[in-house]
Amino acid sequence: MIWDDLDAHLDTLPGTMSAYLGRLDAAPTWTRHPDATHYAASTMKVAVLLALHRAAEAGTLDLAALVDVRNEFDSAQPGTPRFSCDRHDDSDGEVWQREGHSAPLRWLAERMIVRSSNLATNICLGHVGLPAVAEAWALAGARHSVTGRGIEDFAAREAGITNLVTAADLAALLGGLATGAIRPGPLASPAGCATMLDVLFAQELREDLAAGLPEGVRIAHKNGWIPGVRHSAGVIYPPDAPPYALVVCTTTDLANGGPSGDETSDDACLVLADISARAWAARHDLRPAG
C-alpha cells in the first residue's frame, strides 16, 4: 500500500512527522500522528485571520480602518515589559517600511499570510485579541491547538505560554474555510470564507507543499518554520478531482533552513514536497464523502 510505504519511509527520519490527507467532508484517507502537538510556528496565523474576519462580520472590527504600525506589544505574561519583533527574522520587508506610519488592517492581515509577516501578525493580534483566536480554533473543531501569545513574546514563552498545532486541527481549520466558502458553516459567511481562501491562494512562500504539485495547480495554504520545525497546511484544487486537504507538521533536525524569509529549501521542505507529490498522484483514489 502506498501509505504503508510512506509511513515506513517516514519512520526512518528523525523527529516527529505528523500528517493528515483527505477530501473535504470525508474521513481522511491517510493520517500519521494527527493529534501530536507541534510548536505552531506561523501556521497559527490562519486562526488569527479567521478571528479578524469573524470580528469584522460581527461589526466589532473594521478591516478597512487605518491602524498604527508600531513594533511594540503587550506580553501575554502579565506584569512583564512590552516586547518587539526582530526585523531580521521577518519575511516581509513591506510591512516594516510602514513602521511609524499607518496601514489598513485588511492589508496587514493579508501580509500576515502571503509573506508571513511577524510584525503584521502581532499588530493584528493586538486588535482582535487572543480570546477571539481561541474561539476561532474552537469553532473549527480543533481539539489540541492553542494560540497563547504573539510572535517573539519571550517573556510569555519563558512562563510556559506557547502556540501549538496538530495536523488534524489544521486540516479542520483549512477544510472548514474551504467548505464554508461553498455553503454556510460555523466559521464565517460564505463570502467571508471565500475572501480568506483568496488570501491563502495568494501565498508567496511555496517551497514545501506547493513545490510537490504540478505547475498551475491551485493550493490555498499557509506554512511555518523555525529551526527544528517545518509545517505546511493547505487545500489543493485539482482540475480533474475533488479538492483535498493536506497537512504535514514536522518537528525534526531536518528543518535546518535559514531564518524566516530565507526561501532556500531545506531537507524538511523536500520531505513535505515529496508527500505532496504522492498525495497528488493518489488524488483520484482518496476516500469519497459519505
* Pair type for strands 38-39 and 30-32: unpaired
Share of the chain above pLDDT 90, in %: 93
CA distances to 136, 199, 223, 282, 284 from 1, in Å: 37, 36, 28, 11, 15
- 2-to-10, 86, 278, 279, 289 alpha-carbon distances in Å: 12, 43, 8, 10, 21
pLDDT tier, 257 (very low <50, low <70, confident <90, very high otherwise): low
What is the DSSP-derived secondary structure letter of residue 289?
P
Task: Determine what percent of the chain is predicted with pLDDT higher than 70.
Answer: 96
What b/e string do you get for 7-36 counting C-beta neighbours within 10 Å, with b at 16 or more?
eeebeeeebebbbbbbbbebebbbbbbbeb
pLDDT digits (tens, 9 = 90+) for 16-63: 999 999 999 899 999 999 999 999 999 999 999 999 999 999 999 999
Q: What is the pTM of this model?
A: 0.96
> Largest Cα–Cα distance in the chain?
56
Q: Is 247 exposed, middle or buried (0-12, 13-18, 19+ CB in 10 A)?
A: buried
Bridge partners of 220, per DSSP, are: 235
Mean pLDDT, to the nearest integer, of 221-241? 97
What string of H, E and C letters represents the secondary structure of 180-210? HCCCCCCCCCHHHHHHHHHHHHCCCCCCCCH
What is the CATH code of the structural domain delimited by 2-285? 3.40.710.10
Instruction: Report residue 289 CA to chain centroid gap.
Output: 25
**Which amino acid is located at 96 in the chain?**
W
CB 115 within 8 A of CB 222: no
> Is 259 a residue whose pLDDT tops 70?
no
| Residue labelled with grid coordinates 488534524 | 168
Residue 202 vs residues 27, 93, 112: alpha-carbon distances, Å? 28, 17, 11
Q: For residue 19, report the phi and psi dihedrals to the nearest 5 degrees.
A: -155, 155
